Chain A
Amino acid sequence: MNSDDKHKQGPTKSTEAASDVGKIVQWWYKSAWEAKQRDDMNVAWCMMNTPQEILFAMNIIPMFPEQYSAACAAKQAATTYCDKAEMEGFSVDICSFCRVGLGYAAIYRELENLPPETPYGGIPKPDMFISRTSCDPGYKWFQALQYWDLPMFVYDDPTPPLEADPQDERTASRYINYYLEQYKELVTFLEKVTGRKMDWDRLSQILENGQEIWRLSYEINQLRKTIPSPMATQDHMAAVLPFWILTGTEKALDFTRKLHKEVQDRVNNKIGVIPNEKHRLLWSGMATYHNMGIFNYFEKNGAVFAIETEYLPNIPIELDVSKPLEALAKREYFSGRRPRSIPGGSKLGDATMEYPLELFLELIKDYHVGGVVMHSVRSCRLVSIGQLRARQMLVQHLNIPVMSFEGDMADARVYSEAETEKMANTFIEMLEVSKTIKR
C-alpha cells in the first residue's frame, strides 16, 4: 500500500513508527515480567521524569503507573480502578492517574495477584518505588502503597524561583548540585537494595543514546512546522513513551530514528496528516486518554493539531556523558520547555504558567497556528493552574480563537463527549470567521 492509498483510508494518517509504540509497550512489559521472574529487586515503580537511565544501567526495569493509567484509560478500564480507590477512602478530586494506580494496587493486594482482565496483561508488583516531588501525588501516591512495605526513594524536584535568572551561575550551580547529589543518593539507594553495582560505562552509553533521542525528537518537532502538518498530535502523544519514558534504550532510539525519517519523508513529499488541511491548531494540556477520538473529530473537520505545549523537547545542549551523573543533572536543569527567549530548566506545566504569552506566541508563530484548544484537566492541579490566565492573554494580545473544555486525562466520568463536540463545532466556525477577517 503506498502512502496515498493509506491516506484515503481515514481522516487521520498516523505514522508507521507511531504504530510501533504498541509493540514497544509489549516488549517493555514483557521485560518487566521476565525481570520479575528472575529474582528480587528488578522492577521499580517510578514517577514520570525519574532519571530512568540510572535504573536501566543497573538492570532495573522502571514501570510508570502514570503511563499504565493512561493505557487503562485508553482501554476504558480506568474508572473501575478509580471506583476502587474511592471505595478505599481516596477523594474523587485526587489525580485520576493516581486513583487508577491506587485502585489497581488495592485489587492486586486483595487478590495477591493481578486484577482480572487488566489491560496489556498488567504491570507487575514492584520491588521498590522511586517517587518524584513534581506534584503532590508524585510522592504521596507511592507512600499510600506502603502496605507492600517496599523500599522507596523520593527525588525532590525543585524549580528555580521565577525571579531567579536560570543562567545565573550561583542559582544554576545550587540547583545542578542539588540534582547531582540526589542522583548520587539514588545510585547508593539502588546499589543497597539490589546488591548490584552501577555499571558506569553502560550508563554513559545509555545517556549517549538519550542525547541522540533528544536531538532527533527536537528535530522532529522542528519538521512539524511544515505545512501541511506531517505528524499528528496523537503520534506526538504516543512518542512520549520512547522520548521521555524509555529514554536511552535501543528500542527508543530505533523508534526515534524511524519516526524522524518518516516525518522527514513526509515533509519532502508534502504529505499531511489530513487531506485538506484547513486549520492548524495548538493543543494545550494533557490528552483525554479515555477518548482520543476528540482529535479525529477535529481532523474530520479539516483541523489538525500542528503542535502541543506539553512534552516538547527544548533545544538540545551538549553533555559530557563520560561524567554521567553530572550530565544528567545538567540536562535536568536545562532540558525543560521554555520559550527560546528564556532558556532554562522549567518542567511540564510550568512553562504555560510562567510565560504563557511568550511560549504560545512562539509556537503560534513558528507553527502557523490559527487557534488554540485547552484541555482543563479536572484532577491535575499542575497542568490546569494558569490556563485561564494564558487564555486571557491569548485573547487579549493575539485575538486568536481559543476553545477551553473541561475533562480529565483518565477519568471519563467528568468528560462529556457531546458537549465537547458541540464546543468544537462552534470553535471551528470561529476559526473560519477568524480566517475570513484576516484575509
Chain B
Amino acid sequence: MVKEIYENPSRRAEQLKSQGKKVIGYYCCLSPAEIMAAASLLPYRIRGDVHEPITKADIYLETNICPYLRSSFDLAVKGRYDFLDGVVVPSSCSNIRRFQIFWKDNVKSITYARYLKVPHTLRPTSFDFFEGELADFKESLEELTKSKISDKRLNESIELHNENRALLRELCQLRKPDPPLLSGAEMLQTVIAGTSMPVDEANSLLKNVIKDVATRQNSREKRVRLLICGSVIDNSDFIQLVEDCGVNVVVEDICLGTRAYWHDVEMSENPLASLARYHLDKIMCPRTYRETAEERFGHIKRLAKDFQVDGVIIYSVRFCDSVELEIPKLKEYLQQAGLPSLHIESDYTLSGLGALKTRIQAFTEMIQ
C-alpha cells in the first residue's frame, strides 16, 4: 500500500483536485503545512526525481545550485506538477531563496506563489518577527480561499499534524529492536507517502502500517546499524543502496526523517506563536544558527544512542552550503562521541553506484 502511494504520490492530490480542492506544493519542513491544511488546502511536499535526467531546468536555472531543487523544478517544467495551484518557498537556504519566481514564471497552473521568510536565529525577536510573517502567510491563504482561518480551526489542524508526528515516531521506534522491524527504505517511503495526502488520511495509513509492522514476522538480519544525517534524501533508492551493502539504516536526521517529526507543536491559545516556536526551534536543520557543537549536533548523538547505531553516514548534496560547512566539525564531534562516520557527497542522482557501494562496504567492514 505504502509503496504504491510512494511510487504514484500525486494520485490522491489529483483526485482531490478534480473534486475542487486546491493543492499547494511546498518545499522543506520549515513550511507550515498546518496553516495550509487549516485553510482547507492540500499541502503537498515537492520532490525531485533522482532517476529523471535534468533536461529542461537548465534553460532557467544555473547549474551551480542544489541539484535537488533543479530536479524538482525540472519536473515542474515538464508538467509533473501541473496539479499544483500554488507553491510555498521558505527561506531555508541561499539556493531556494526566491525560487517561487521560477515557478510563477514557468508553471502555468501556479496562481499562488509565496516566499516565507524564516529567521535563522533563535532570539526572542526572531520568534516575534516570524509570528508576524506567519500571520501574513495565513492572511494570504485566507485571500486565496476567501475564507477566514479561526484559531480553533488552526489548533485542530495542529492537533492532527501532531498526531501524524506521534505516529511517525511510534513507527520509527519499531526500528529500535535488533534487527529492526522495518527497513530504512520502508520508513522513508512511509514518510514521503504521508506528505502527499490529507493529514487525516496519512494518520489512518500510518495506523495500519504500524499495526502491520508491529505484528509482521521479522525476517530481517542483525547487521551493522547506521544513522544517516545531512541534506535532503527524497528517494528511498539511496537508503536501499546503503542497506544493500549489508547494513540496517535504523534512523535518519534528515528533513524527511526525524527532523520532520521528532517534536510536536505546543498547543496554545496563540497557535501562530506555537508554530513559530516549533518551526524555528524544534526543526534541527543546520540552516538555523545554534551556537555550540552540542546544540548543533547533540540530537544526532542522542539518536545514535537511542537507536544503538554503530556508525553514521553524513550525506551531503552538492551546493548544500549549510550542510557542507558543518562537515569537518560534525565529523570531529561524532569521533569524540565514539561514532565513526563516512561522508558521502552526492550530485543527487544515483550515479557512480559502484564506487559508492565500495566505500560503504569498506566503512561497514571497518566498524563491524
Contact = CB atoms under 8 A, between A and B. Distances in A.
Residue of B60, B114, B120 most packed against chain A (CB within 10 A): B120
A161 B117 contact: yes
A152 B291 contact: yes
A388 B57 CA distance: 11
A89 B101 CA distance: 34
Interface stretch (A113-121, A141-149, A248-256): A141-149
Contact of A139 (B98, B117, B140, B289): B289
Interface of A: 88-91, 93-95, 98, 131, 133, 135-137, 139-141, 143-144, 146, 152, 154, 156, 158-164, 171, 174, 177-178, 181-182, 185, 350, 353-354, 376, 378-379, 381-382, 384-389, 392
A185 B62 contact: no
B345 interface: yes
Residue of B93, B121, B291 most packed against chain A (CB within 10 A): B121
B98 A90 contact: no
Contacts of B60: 388-389, 392
A372 to B, nearest CB: 16
Interface in B58-80: 59-62, 64-65
Contact of B324 (A90, A143, A182, A387): A90
Interface of B: 59-62, 64-65, 91, 93-95, 97-98, 100-102, 105, 113-117, 119-121, 123, 125-126, 129, 132-133, 136, 140, 286-287, 289, 291-293, 316, 318-319, 321-322, 324-329, 331, 343, 345
A91 B318 contact: yes
Contacts of B132: 174
A379 B64 contact: yes
Contact of B119 (A156, A164, A177, A387): A156
A385 to B, nearest CB: 6
10 contacts: A90-B327, A91-B327, A93-B324, A95-B321, A140-B286, A146-B293, A154-B120, A154-B289, A384-B65, A389-B101
B134 to A, nearest CB: 12
A144 B125 contact: no
Given A140-B326, A181-B125, A376-B62, A163 B115 contact: yes
Contacts of A387: 62
B318 A133 contact: no
A141 B129 CA distance: 25
Given A137-B325, A161-B114, A381-B94, A178 B120 contact: no
Contacts of B98: 162, 350, 353-354, 385-386
B363 to A, nearest CB: 16
Given A136-B93, A185-B123, A387-B62, A161 B325 contact: no
B119 A158 contact: yes
Contact of B101 (A135, A144, A162, A379): A162
Given A158-B129, A161-B114, A350-B98, 8 more contacts: A98-B325, A133-B121, A137-B321, A146-B292, A161-B115, A185-B123, A388-B60, A389-B105
A178 B129 contact: yes
Contacts of B65: 381, 384-385
A333 B18 CA distance: 43
A162 B325 contact: no
Nearest to B330: A89
Contacts of A177: 129
Contacts of A146: 292-293, 329
Contacts of B318: 91, 93
Contacts of B321: 93-95, 135-137, 140, 381
Given A163-B140, A384-B62, A88 B105 contact: no
